[in-house]
Amino acid sequence: MSIQETRIVLKNAGKINPLSIDDYIRAGGYAGLRKALQMNPADVIDELMEAGLRGRGGAGFSTGMKQKFTSESCQRCPQRYVVVNADEGEPGTFKDRIIMEQDPHLYLEGTIIAAWAIQATQAYIYIRGEYHESIDKTQKAIEDAYAAGFLGKNILGSGFDLDVEIRLGAGSYLCGEELTMLESLEGKRGNPRIKPPFPAEKGVFGMPTLVNNVETLANAPLIIANGREWYRQFGTERSPGTKIFTISGQVNKPGHYEVPLGVPLQDLIDLAGGMRNGKKFKAALLGGAAGTFVDASMLGEKMTYDNLREKGATLGSGAIIVMAEGDPVYDILHNCLRFFRHESCGKCVPCRVGTTQLVKQADQLKSANGDRKKILEQMVLESQIMAGTSLCPLGQSPILPLESAAKYFSKELCTTHH
Protein backbone atom coordinates (compact mmCIF):
# COMPACT_ATOMS: atom_id res chain seq x y z
CA MET A 1 0.00 0.00 0.00
CA SER A 2 1.44 3.30 -0.95
CA ILE A 3 1.16 6.35 1.28
CA GLN A 4 -1.25 9.20 0.73
CA GLU A 5 -0.39 12.78 -0.05
CA THR A 6 -0.73 15.36 2.72
CA ARG A 7 -1.93 18.45 0.95
CA ILE A 8 -1.75 21.62 2.99
CA VAL A 9 0.03 23.97 0.58
CA LEU A 10 -1.81 22.35 -2.31
CA LYS A 11 -5.13 22.05 -0.50
CA ASN A 12 -6.87 24.30 -3.02
CA ALA A 13 -4.97 23.12 -6.06
CA GLY A 14 -7.33 21.76 -8.67
CA LYS A 15 -10.29 22.43 -6.35
CA ILE A 16 -10.83 26.16 -6.70
CA ASN A 17 -10.76 28.46 -9.67
CA PRO A 18 -7.30 30.05 -9.45
CA LEU A 19 -8.64 33.15 -11.20
CA SER A 20 -11.28 33.78 -8.56
CA ILE A 21 -10.33 35.63 -5.41
CA ASP A 22 -13.82 34.88 -4.06
CA ASP A 23 -13.16 31.16 -4.37
CA TYR A 24 -9.90 31.61 -2.54
CA ILE A 25 -11.51 33.61 0.26
CA ARG A 26 -14.35 31.09 0.58
CA ALA A 27 -11.71 28.39 1.05
CA GLY A 28 -10.32 30.31 4.02
CA GLY A 29 -7.94 32.53 2.07
CA TYR A 30 -6.59 35.80 3.47
CA ALA A 31 -7.46 34.70 7.04
CA GLY A 32 -3.73 34.39 7.70
CA LEU A 33 -3.17 37.94 6.50
CA ARG A 34 -6.02 39.31 8.62
CA LYS A 35 -4.54 37.62 11.64
CA ALA A 36 -0.98 38.73 10.86
CA LEU A 37 -2.03 42.36 10.58
CA GLN A 38 -3.38 42.16 14.13
CA MET A 39 -0.08 40.80 15.39
CA ASN A 40 3.20 42.61 15.95
CA PRO A 41 5.50 42.13 12.98
CA ALA A 42 8.06 40.66 15.38
CA ASP A 43 5.50 38.12 16.58
CA VAL A 44 4.76 37.08 13.01
CA ILE A 45 8.47 36.42 12.50
CA ASP A 46 8.59 34.56 15.80
CA GLU A 47 5.68 32.34 14.77
CA LEU A 48 7.38 31.38 11.50
CA MET A 49 10.64 30.76 13.32
CA GLU A 50 9.05 28.58 16.00
CA ALA A 51 7.04 26.69 13.40
CA GLY A 52 10.44 25.76 12.00
CA LEU A 53 9.73 26.79 8.40
CA ARG A 54 12.83 26.37 6.23
CA GLY A 55 13.44 27.84 2.79
CA ARG A 56 12.00 25.69 0.03
CA GLY A 57 14.20 27.25 -2.65
CA GLY A 58 16.92 24.73 -1.98
CA ALA A 59 19.12 25.80 0.90
CA GLY A 60 16.68 25.05 3.73
CA PHE A 61 17.61 28.12 5.74
CA SER A 62 15.30 29.18 8.59
CA THR A 63 12.74 31.57 7.14
CA GLY A 64 12.03 33.25 10.47
CA MET A 65 15.71 33.85 11.03
CA LYS A 66 16.14 35.40 7.60
CA GLN A 67 13.15 37.67 8.21
CA LYS A 68 14.55 38.66 11.58
CA PHE A 69 17.91 39.65 10.08
CA THR A 70 16.19 41.62 7.34
CA SER A 71 13.84 43.44 9.69
CA GLU A 72 16.64 44.38 12.09
CA SER A 73 19.34 45.44 9.63
CA CYS A 74 20.01 49.06 8.67
CA GLN A 75 17.46 50.92 10.75
CA ARG A 76 18.28 54.16 8.90
CA CYS A 77 17.35 52.68 5.53
CA PRO A 78 14.27 54.40 4.11
CA GLN A 79 13.00 51.30 2.33
CA ARG A 80 12.88 47.54 2.66
CA TYR A 81 11.93 45.05 -0.06
CA VAL A 82 10.51 41.57 -0.41
CA VAL A 83 11.64 39.66 -3.47
CA VAL A 84 9.77 36.51 -4.36
CA ASN A 85 11.98 34.01 -6.11
CA ALA A 86 9.78 32.52 -8.83
CA ASP A 87 12.61 31.89 -11.27
CA GLU A 88 12.38 28.11 -10.93
CA GLY A 89 15.24 27.09 -13.19
CA GLU A 90 16.57 23.97 -11.51
CA PRO A 91 16.10 21.10 -13.98
CA GLY A 92 13.41 18.67 -12.83
CA THR A 93 11.66 21.26 -10.67
CA PHE A 94 8.15 22.61 -11.31
CA LYS A 95 6.53 22.96 -7.89
CA ASP A 96 6.44 26.76 -7.92
CA ARG A 97 4.73 26.67 -11.29
CA ILE A 98 2.04 24.42 -9.84
CA ILE A 99 1.43 26.85 -6.97
CA MET A 100 1.36 29.85 -9.30
CA GLU A 101 -0.94 28.20 -11.80
CA GLN A 102 -3.31 26.53 -9.37
CA ASP A 103 -3.45 28.79 -6.31
CA PRO A 104 -1.69 32.11 -6.96
CA HIS A 105 -3.38 33.93 -4.09
CA LEU A 106 -1.77 31.61 -1.56
CA TYR A 107 1.78 32.72 -2.22
CA LEU A 108 0.65 36.29 -2.81
CA GLU A 109 -0.92 36.23 0.66
CA GLY A 110 2.35 34.84 2.00
CA THR A 111 4.21 37.66 0.28
CA ILE A 112 2.02 40.28 1.96
CA ILE A 113 2.51 38.60 5.35
CA ALA A 114 6.28 38.56 4.83
CA ALA A 115 6.23 42.23 3.84
CA TRP A 116 4.31 43.08 7.00
CA ALA A 117 6.75 41.02 9.05
CA ILE A 118 9.78 42.95 7.83
CA GLN A 119 7.85 46.20 7.21
CA ALA A 120 8.55 46.34 3.49
CA THR A 121 6.33 48.56 1.37
CA GLN A 122 7.38 47.20 -2.00
CA ALA A 123 7.58 43.62 -3.20
CA TYR A 124 8.79 42.22 -6.51
CA ILE A 125 7.85 38.82 -7.83
CA TYR A 126 10.62 37.67 -10.16
CA ILE A 127 9.08 35.06 -12.50
CA ARG A 128 11.01 33.29 -15.22
CA GLY A 129 10.06 34.62 -18.63
CA GLU A 130 8.98 31.22 -19.96
CA TYR A 131 6.24 30.77 -17.35
CA HIS A 132 3.47 32.58 -19.22
CA GLU A 133 0.58 30.98 -17.37
CA SER A 134 2.18 31.70 -13.99
CA ILE A 135 2.75 35.30 -15.01
CA ASP A 136 -0.82 35.83 -16.20
CA LYS A 137 -2.42 34.20 -13.17
CA THR A 138 -0.20 36.05 -10.73
CA GLN A 139 -1.02 39.31 -12.49
CA LYS A 140 -4.73 38.63 -12.15
CA ALA A 141 -4.29 37.71 -8.48
CA ILE A 142 -2.42 40.96 -7.83
CA GLU A 143 -5.12 43.05 -9.53
CA ASP A 144 -7.89 41.35 -7.59
CA ALA A 145 -5.98 41.68 -4.33
CA TYR A 146 -5.68 45.44 -4.93
CA ALA A 147 -9.38 45.69 -5.63
CA ALA A 148 -10.22 43.75 -2.47
CA GLY A 149 -8.00 45.94 -0.28
CA PHE A 150 -5.31 43.32 0.42
CA LEU A 151 -2.74 45.43 -1.43
CA GLY A 152 -2.17 49.14 -1.88
CA LYS A 153 -2.66 51.81 0.75
CA ASN A 154 -3.85 51.09 4.27
CA ILE A 155 -4.39 47.36 3.83
CA LEU A 156 -7.54 46.25 5.66
CA GLY A 157 -7.46 49.45 7.68
CA SER A 158 -4.15 48.54 9.30
CA GLY A 159 -2.27 51.60 8.12
CA PHE A 160 0.16 49.31 6.30
CA ASP A 161 0.92 50.02 2.62
CA LEU A 162 2.31 47.55 0.13
CA ASP A 163 2.76 47.51 -3.63
CA VAL A 164 3.56 44.32 -5.53
CA GLU A 165 4.94 44.14 -9.04
CA ILE A 166 5.92 41.27 -11.31
CA ARG A 167 9.39 41.36 -12.86
CA LEU A 168 10.31 39.04 -15.70
CA GLY A 169 13.40 36.93 -16.06
CA ALA A 170 14.80 36.24 -19.50
CA GLY A 171 16.32 32.79 -19.51
CA SER A 172 19.19 32.76 -17.04
CA TYR A 173 19.48 30.00 -14.44
CA LEU A 174 22.04 32.01 -12.52
CA CYS A 175 19.48 34.77 -11.94
CA GLY A 176 17.65 32.34 -9.63
CA GLU A 177 20.54 32.75 -7.21
CA GLU A 178 19.39 35.43 -4.82
CA LEU A 179 22.23 37.93 -5.15
CA THR A 180 22.31 37.65 -8.92
CA MET A 181 18.56 38.12 -8.97
CA LEU A 182 19.02 41.50 -7.32
CA GLU A 183 21.25 42.61 -10.21
CA SER A 184 18.69 41.38 -12.70
CA LEU A 185 15.92 43.21 -10.85
CA GLU A 186 17.89 46.41 -11.25
CA GLY A 187 17.87 45.87 -15.02
CA LYS A 188 21.45 44.69 -15.29
CA ARG A 189 23.33 41.67 -16.52
CA GLY A 190 23.11 38.78 -14.11
CA ASN A 191 26.58 39.16 -12.69
CA PRO A 192 26.83 37.63 -9.23
CA ARG A 193 27.50 39.80 -6.24
CA ILE A 194 29.89 38.68 -3.59
CA LYS A 195 28.58 37.61 -0.16
CA PRO A 196 28.67 39.30 2.29
CA PRO A 197 26.84 41.60 2.31
CA PHE A 198 23.75 39.42 2.29
CA PRO A 199 20.50 40.67 0.77
CA ALA A 200 19.24 41.17 4.32
CA GLU A 201 21.78 43.95 4.71
CA LYS A 202 22.21 45.29 1.20
CA GLY A 203 19.72 43.98 -1.31
CA VAL A 204 17.90 45.46 -4.24
CA PHE A 205 18.78 49.16 -4.79
CA GLY A 206 21.13 48.79 -1.81
CA MET A 207 18.26 48.35 0.69
CA PRO A 208 17.56 45.46 3.10
CA THR A 209 15.80 42.76 1.11
CA LEU A 210 14.13 39.51 1.96
CA VAL A 211 14.40 36.90 -0.79
CA ASN A 212 12.07 33.94 -0.38
CA ASN A 213 10.95 31.15 -2.66
CA VAL A 214 7.32 30.80 -3.81
CA GLU A 215 6.72 27.57 -1.89
CA THR A 216 8.28 29.01 1.27
CA LEU A 217 5.90 31.95 1.16
CA ALA A 218 2.93 29.70 0.37
CA ASN A 219 3.47 28.08 3.77
CA ALA A 220 3.31 31.37 5.67
CA PRO A 221 -0.48 31.98 5.57
CA LEU A 222 -1.09 28.42 6.78
CA ILE A 223 1.28 28.80 9.71
CA ILE A 224 -0.10 32.17 10.75
CA ALA A 225 -3.73 31.08 10.41
CA ASN A 226 -3.33 27.73 12.16
CA GLY A 227 -0.37 28.25 14.47
CA ARG A 228 3.00 26.62 15.00
CA GLU A 229 1.64 23.58 16.87
CA TRP A 230 -0.65 22.70 14.00
CA TYR A 231 2.21 23.08 11.54
CA ARG A 232 4.61 20.97 13.55
CA GLN A 233 2.30 17.96 13.42
CA PHE A 234 3.67 17.53 9.88
CA GLY A 235 7.25 16.57 9.15
CA THR A 236 10.08 16.05 11.60
CA GLU A 237 11.47 18.03 14.51
CA ARG A 238 14.15 19.74 12.43
CA SER A 239 12.35 19.72 9.09
CA PRO A 240 8.74 20.50 9.96
CA GLY A 241 5.93 20.82 7.46
CA THR A 242 5.42 19.36 4.05
CA LYS A 243 7.37 19.54 0.82
CA ILE A 244 6.16 19.44 -2.74
CA PHE A 245 8.34 16.96 -4.60
CA THR A 246 8.36 16.89 -8.38
CA ILE A 247 8.96 13.36 -9.55
CA SER A 248 9.90 12.74 -13.15
CA GLY A 249 11.57 10.21 -15.41
CA GLN A 250 10.97 6.49 -15.15
CA VAL A 251 7.87 6.38 -12.96
CA ASN A 252 4.34 5.54 -14.00
CA LYS A 253 2.77 8.79 -12.81
CA PRO A 254 5.28 11.61 -12.99
CA GLY A 255 4.04 14.76 -11.31
CA HIS A 256 3.98 16.87 -8.16
CA TYR A 257 3.37 15.27 -4.77
CA GLU A 258 3.08 16.99 -1.41
CA VAL A 259 4.13 14.88 1.58
CA PRO A 260 5.42 15.54 5.09
CA LEU A 261 9.18 15.99 5.22
CA GLY A 262 10.77 12.78 6.43
CA VAL A 263 9.01 10.35 4.10
CA PRO A 264 11.42 7.78 2.63
CA LEU A 265 12.40 8.08 -1.01
CA GLN A 266 10.83 4.69 -1.79
CA ASP A 267 7.40 5.94 -0.65
CA LEU A 268 7.64 8.88 -3.01
CA ILE A 269 8.39 6.60 -5.92
CA ASP A 270 5.43 4.44 -4.94
CA LEU A 271 3.26 7.53 -4.74
CA ALA A 272 4.29 8.36 -8.29
CA GLY A 273 2.89 5.04 -9.42
CA GLY A 274 6.05 3.02 -8.97
CA MET A 275 8.67 2.32 -11.57
CA ARG A 276 7.52 2.71 -15.17
CA ASN A 277 6.34 -0.59 -16.65
CA GLY A 278 7.74 -2.46 -13.67
CA LYS A 279 11.34 -1.55 -14.53
CA LYS A 280 13.96 -1.84 -11.86
CA PHE A 281 15.09 1.27 -9.99
CA LYS A 282 18.64 2.26 -10.75
CA ALA A 283 19.26 5.82 -9.63
CA ALA A 284 17.66 9.12 -8.78
CA LEU A 285 19.03 12.59 -9.23
CA LEU A 286 17.82 14.52 -6.19
CA GLY A 287 17.53 18.32 -6.40
CA GLY A 288 18.22 18.81 -10.10
CA ALA A 289 21.51 19.56 -11.85
CA ALA A 290 22.86 21.18 -8.69
CA GLY A 291 21.83 17.99 -6.94
CA THR A 292 23.12 14.54 -6.15
CA PHE A 293 22.78 11.06 -7.62
CA VAL A 294 21.75 8.26 -5.29
CA ASP A 295 21.42 4.55 -5.90
CA ALA A 296 19.02 1.92 -4.54
CA SER A 297 20.84 1.80 -1.21
CA MET A 298 19.32 5.22 -0.45
CA LEU A 299 15.68 4.28 -1.11
CA GLY A 300 14.97 3.89 2.59
CA GLU A 301 16.41 7.26 3.54
CA LYS A 302 14.14 9.88 5.05
CA MET A 303 13.74 12.93 2.86
CA THR A 304 14.75 15.76 5.20
CA TYR A 305 17.30 18.52 4.72
CA ASP A 306 19.57 17.23 7.47
CA ASN A 307 19.33 13.50 6.95
CA LEU A 308 20.16 13.77 3.28
CA ARG A 309 23.01 16.16 3.96
CA GLU A 310 24.47 13.71 6.48
CA LYS A 311 24.32 10.99 3.85
CA GLY A 312 26.07 13.18 1.30
CA ALA A 313 22.90 13.83 -0.68
CA THR A 314 20.67 16.87 -1.19
CA LEU A 315 16.99 17.62 -0.93
CA GLY A 316 17.40 20.89 -2.80
CA SER A 317 14.36 22.09 -4.67
CA GLY A 318 12.54 18.78 -4.28
CA ALA A 319 13.23 17.49 -7.78
CA ILE A 320 13.47 13.70 -8.04
CA ILE A 321 14.57 12.46 -11.44
CA VAL A 322 14.18 8.70 -11.50
CA MET A 323 16.31 6.42 -13.66
CA ALA A 324 15.73 2.75 -14.37
CA GLU A 325 18.04 -0.16 -15.03
CA GLY A 326 19.55 0.42 -18.46
CA ASP A 327 19.40 4.22 -18.32
CA PRO A 328 22.84 5.76 -18.71
CA VAL A 329 24.00 7.71 -15.66
CA TYR A 330 26.84 8.94 -17.86
CA ASP A 331 24.48 10.79 -20.21
CA ILE A 332 22.63 12.50 -17.40
CA LEU A 333 25.85 13.50 -15.67
CA HIS A 334 27.15 14.83 -18.99
CA ASN A 335 23.92 16.75 -19.38
CA CYS A 336 24.36 18.36 -15.94
CA LEU A 337 27.94 19.33 -16.74
CA ARG A 338 26.87 20.90 -20.06
CA PHE A 339 24.18 22.75 -18.16
CA PHE A 340 26.76 24.36 -15.88
CA ARG A 341 29.00 25.23 -18.81
CA HIS A 342 26.07 26.92 -20.50
CA GLU A 343 24.89 28.78 -17.41
CA SER A 344 28.30 29.91 -16.12
CA CYS A 345 28.51 33.69 -16.45
CA GLY A 346 32.24 33.50 -17.10
CA LYS A 347 33.14 36.19 -14.61
CA CYS A 348 35.62 34.14 -12.62
CA VAL A 349 38.33 31.86 -13.97
CA PRO A 350 37.82 28.68 -11.90
CA CYS A 351 34.22 28.33 -13.04
CA ARG A 352 34.64 29.59 -16.60
CA VAL A 353 37.55 27.27 -17.29
CA GLY A 354 36.38 24.52 -14.95
CA THR A 355 32.91 24.07 -16.42
CA THR A 356 34.40 23.84 -19.93
CA GLN A 357 37.12 21.50 -18.76
CA LEU A 358 34.66 19.16 -17.03
CA VAL A 359 32.67 18.68 -20.22
CA LYS A 360 35.87 17.93 -22.13
CA GLN A 361 36.96 15.42 -19.53
CA ALA A 362 33.53 13.83 -19.57
CA ASP A 363 33.95 13.42 -23.35
CA GLN A 364 37.32 11.79 -22.76
CA LEU A 365 35.75 9.47 -20.24
CA LYS A 366 33.70 8.12 -23.08
CA SER A 367 36.34 7.98 -25.79
CA ALA A 368 39.52 7.21 -23.90
CA ASN A 369 41.18 3.89 -24.15
CA GLY A 370 43.45 5.06 -21.37
CA ASP A 371 42.89 5.22 -17.68
CA ARG A 372 39.26 6.16 -17.17
CA LYS A 373 39.57 5.90 -13.44
CA LYS A 374 42.25 8.57 -13.47
CA ILE A 375 40.11 10.86 -15.59
CA LEU A 376 37.18 10.52 -13.22
CA GLU A 377 39.41 11.21 -10.23
CA GLN A 378 40.75 14.26 -12.04
CA MET A 379 37.23 15.49 -12.66
CA VAL A 380 36.27 15.17 -9.02
CA LEU A 381 39.45 16.97 -8.00
CA GLU A 382 38.74 19.74 -10.50
CA SER A 383 35.22 20.20 -9.14
CA GLN A 384 36.60 20.35 -5.60
CA ILE A 385 38.98 23.11 -6.59
CA MET A 386 36.10 24.93 -8.25
CA ALA A 387 34.02 24.58 -5.12
CA GLY A 388 36.80 26.18 -3.12
CA THR A 389 37.69 29.01 -5.45
CA SER A 390 34.63 30.04 -7.49
CA LEU A 391 33.02 33.39 -6.85
CA CYS A 392 29.44 32.27 -6.54
CA PRO A 393 27.44 29.11 -5.76
CA LEU A 394 27.11 28.10 -9.42
CA GLY A 395 30.79 27.24 -9.64
CA GLN A 396 30.44 25.40 -6.36
CA SER A 397 27.69 23.16 -7.77
CA PRO A 398 29.22 20.75 -10.32
CA ILE A 399 30.84 18.85 -7.47
CA LEU A 400 27.39 17.73 -6.32
CA PRO A 401 26.29 15.53 -9.25
CA LEU A 402 29.87 14.64 -10.10
CA GLU A 403 31.07 13.39 -6.75
CA SER A 404 27.86 11.49 -6.08
CA ALA A 405 27.86 9.88 -9.52
CA ALA A 406 31.47 8.85 -8.95
CA LYS A 407 30.56 7.47 -5.54
CA TYR A 408 27.74 5.22 -6.70
CA PHE A 409 28.43 4.60 -10.37
CA SER A 410 32.18 4.79 -10.88
CA LYS A 411 32.22 1.29 -12.31
CA GLU A 412 29.73 2.21 -14.99
CA LEU A 413 31.39 5.57 -15.68
CA CYS A 414 34.76 3.86 -16.11
CA THR A 415 33.75 1.08 -18.48
CA THR A 416 33.52 1.29 -22.24
CA HIS A 417 30.41 2.99 -23.55
CA HIS A 418 28.68 2.06 -26.74
Query: Among residues 7, 347, 366, 373, which is the contact residue for ligand SF4, using CB under 6 A?
Result: 347
CB of 242 to ligand FES, least distance (A): 22
Piece of 17-25, 38-46, 150-158, 336-344 that binds another protein (CB under 8 A):
336-344
Q: How far is the CB of 247 from ligand FES (least distance, A)?
A: 12
Minimum gap (Å) between residue 380 Cβ and ligand SF4: 18
Q: How far is the CB of 383 from ligand FES (least distance, A)?
A: 22
Q: Spell out, one character per residue from 134 to 173, where the chain touches another protein: x when CB under 8 A holds, - when not.
A: ---------------------------------xxxxxxx
Least spacing, CB of residue 212 vs another protein, in Å: 19
Q: Contact with ligand FES (CB under 6 A): which of 58, 91, 104, 395?
A: 91
Residues 207-236 touching ligand FMN, rule: CB under 6 A, are 211-213, 216
# chain residues binding ligand FMN, by CB under 6 A:
22
Minimum CB distance to another protein smaller for 237 or for 325: 325
- Asked if 291 touches ligand FES (CB under 6 A), the answer is no
For residue 203, state whether it binds ligand FMN (rule: CB under 6 A).
no
- Sheet (strand 255-260) strand order: 255-260, 242-249, 319-324, 281-286, 292-295
Size, binding site for ligand FES by CB under 6 A: 2
Does 307 participate in binding ligand FMN (rule CB under 6 A)? Answer: no
Could you tell which of ligand FMN, ligand FES, ligand SF4, none binds residue 213, using a CB distance below 5 to 8 A set by kind?
ligand FMN
Which of ligand SF4, ligand FES, ligand FMN, none does 56 bind, CB closer than 5 to 8 A by kind?
ligand FMN
The 3-class SS string of the chain reads CCCCCCCCCCCCCCCCCCCCHHHHHHCCCCHHHHHHHCCCHHHHHHHHHHHCCECCCCCCCEHHHHHHHHHHCCCCCCCCEEEEEECCCCCCCCHHHHHHHHCHHHHHHHHHHHHHHHCCCEEEEEECCCCHHHHHHHHHHHHHHHHCCCCECCHHHCCCCEEEEEEECCCCHHHHCHHHHHHHHCCCCCCCCCCCCCCCCCCHHHCCEEEEEHHHHHHHHHHHHHCHHHHHCCECCCCECEEEEEEEECECCCEEEEEECCCEHHHHHHHCCCEHHHCCEEEEEECCCCCEEEEHHHCCCECCHHHHHHCCCCCCCCEEEEEECCCCHHHHHHHHHHHHHHHCCCCCHHHHHHHHHHHHHHHHHHHCCCCHHHHHHHHHHHHHHHHHHCCCCCCCCCHHHHHHHHHHHHHHHCCCCC
Comparison of 107 and 173: residue with beta carbon closer to another protein: 173
Of 185, 225, 290, 394, the one binding another protein by CB under 8 A = 185
- Positions touching another protein (CB under 8 A) are 88-94, 97, 128-132, 167-173, 184-190, 246, 248-250, 254-256, 285, 288-289, 319, 321, 323, 327, 331-332, 335-336, 339, 342-343, 345
- Positions touching ligand SF4 (CB under 6 A) are 174, 192, 344-348, 351-352, 390-392, 394-395
